[in-house]
Amino acid sequence: MSFHSFGLPHSFIDILEREQYKNPYPIQQASIPLILKGRDVLGIAPTGSGKTASYVLPVLSRLNHKKKAKDRQVDVLVLVPTRELAEQVKKVFLLFEKGLEHSVPTMAVYGGVSINPQMKALFGISVLVATPGRLLDLVSSNAVRFDQLQTLILDEADKLLNLGFKDEMSQIFALLPKKRQNLLFSATLNEKVEEINQILLRDPEVINVAPKEGNLDQIRQLAYTISEEKKGPFLRQLIKSENMQQVLIFTASTYKAGHVADKLHNNGIDARSIHGKKSQHARNIALEEFKSGKIRALVATDLLGRGIDIEDLPYVINYELPRSPKDYVHRIGRTGRAESNGEAISLISPNEEHHFKIIQKKMKISVEVFDGNTILLK
């Protein structure tokens, strides 16, 4: 199946070819035709599987012949859990909006920045990408209206619920017209997501292309046991000895993310960190520098890592283990995407060894473990 078969605007095909999208991913093959028909869709697919384009392409196609009125009414609302994901989704909309007959003004809104410029800029916006808290702030200020809303999209629905946005989302749902298309995308299908599905979606088509746990064949996984005090020097030697030019490193806390990035930078490895205590501007700069290759290493927490979408990322390192096996999969799933191979390395301190065994057992995987303490540090 090719993108031509969906009946998308020819200008979209040109953009897809220019961006080197060769063939649609499974989630795109299944969801694009249904969304074009106006169906409600529940899509379950891992991060990096093309979920964003699977709704952006058909949603924009349906807006292709509609000229946006200059008012505060929004046609499409996309709810996301983080600022980074909001910016990422906005960029995909803007990429394909260039191929439409009429412009489809798109905007991302989120907290951590001044609300006043957002309030002013919302006039004449067609597609609004928002985090729930900031959206409710804008609604209370009469900066945005949903009487004419055509489509509601929840992206990373599992994370929205895990971060405690359920009450905010319920308030938002109550503001929306009953007649609308609903699209719900999630990396996992759990009880919370199923509950939202029951409340929100009407006779949905359920598409599940999520890999079975442990089906991580394209990712080489290995681990090193290493004392806590040696983790930093070991990490730096690993990056240099393996000549890692692009590596995403995960930590369990904002403090540790900043500390690790600083130590890398001070030892000749260009690195930045992104975490909740960084300004949005600083996060955007760090992410763009990492994507463009200006810096070799990006250190992130689990929450901020959700918004990182980089094709052909070769390395992921767990400087500290995540709390759950599913978060482990989300982390290492940043590499080995599509047809590319990747390598995921975990640094295991003595107090993490038991937890790492639990992760392997629950994921039904066996990771090769080496004794990092016996490796001579330079």
pLDDT in tens, 51-106: 999 999 999 999 887 766 678 999 999 999 998 899 999 999 999 998 887 889 99
> Per-residue pLDDT for 322 more than 50?
yes
| Residue 336 Rama label (left phi>0; alpha psi -120 to 50; beta) | left
% of the chain residues with pLDDT over 70: 93
**215 pLDDT tier (thresholds 50, 70, 90):** very low
Which range scores top for mean pLDDT: 216-220, 254-258, 273-277? 254-258
> Per-residue pLDDT for 137 more than 90?
yes
Q: What are phi and psi of 113, to 5 degrees?
A: -135, 165
What pLDDT shows up at residue 275?
A: 83
Mean pLDDT of all residues in the chain?
Answer: 88
What pLDDT shows up at residue 338?
A: 56
CA angle 202, 204, 210 (to 5 degrees): 145
Q: What are phi and psi of 110, to 5 degrees?
A: -165, 165
> Per-residue pLDDT for 192 more than 90?
no
> Per-residue pLDDT for 108 more than 90?
yes
What pLDDT shows up at residue 89?
A: 95
What pLDDT shows up at residue 307?
A: 57
Please name every residue paired with 345 in a beta bridge, in sequence order, or none if there are none: 222, 317
Mean pLDDT of 248-253: 94
Mean pLDDT of 288-299: 92
List Cβ neighbours of 315 (8 Å cut-off, separation of 6 or more). 242, 244, 246, 247, 248, 335, 342, 343, 344, 345
Residue 136 tokens, joined: 């409710």
Mind listing the domains of the chain with CATH numbers? 3-208 (3.40.50.300), 219-374 (3.40.50.300)
Instruction: Report whether 263 contacts 212 (CB < 8 A).
Output: no
> Per-residue pLDDT for 213 more than 50?
no
**340 pLDDT tier (thresholds 50, 70, 90):** low
| Identity of residue 220 | R
Instruction: Report whether 334 contacts 48 (CB < 8 A).
Output: yes
Nearest CA to 239 out of 249, 251, 253 is that of 249
Nearest CA to 53 out of 79, 11, 81, 24 is that of 24
| Identity of residue 145 | R
For the four alpha carbons of 14, 19, 20 and 23, in that order, the dihedral sign comes to negative
Which is more confident, 305 or 191? 191
3-state SS, one letter per residue, for the chain: CCHHHHCCCHHHHHHHHHCCCCCCCHHHHHHHHHHHCCCCEEEECCCCCCHHHHHHHHHHHHCCCCCCCCCCECCEEEECCCHHHHHHHHHHHHHHHCCCCCCCCEEEECCCCCHHHHHHHCCCCCEEEECHHHHHHHHHCCCCECCCCCEEEECCHHHHHHCCCHHHHHHHHHHCCCCCEEEEEECCCCHHHHHHHHHHCCCCEEEECCCCCCCCCCEEEEEEECCHHHHHHHHHHHHHHCCCCCEEEECCCHHHHHHHHHHHHHCCCCEEEECCCCCHHHHHHHHHHHHHCCCCEEEECHHHHCCCCCCCCCEEEECCCCCCHHHHHHHHCCCCCCCCCEEEEEEECHHHHHHHHHHHHHHCCCCEEEEHHHCCCC
Cα separation, 53 vs 67, in Å, equals: 22
pLDDT digits (tens, 9 = 90+) for 265-275: 999 999 999 88
Residue 182 tokens, joined: 């609903």
Residues comprising the chain, all counted: 378
Cα separation, 291 vs 313, in Å, equals: 9
Cα separation, 205 vs 42, in Å, equals: 6
Cα separation, 210 vs 63, in Å, equals: 29
Cα separation, 34 vs 248, in Å, equals: 35
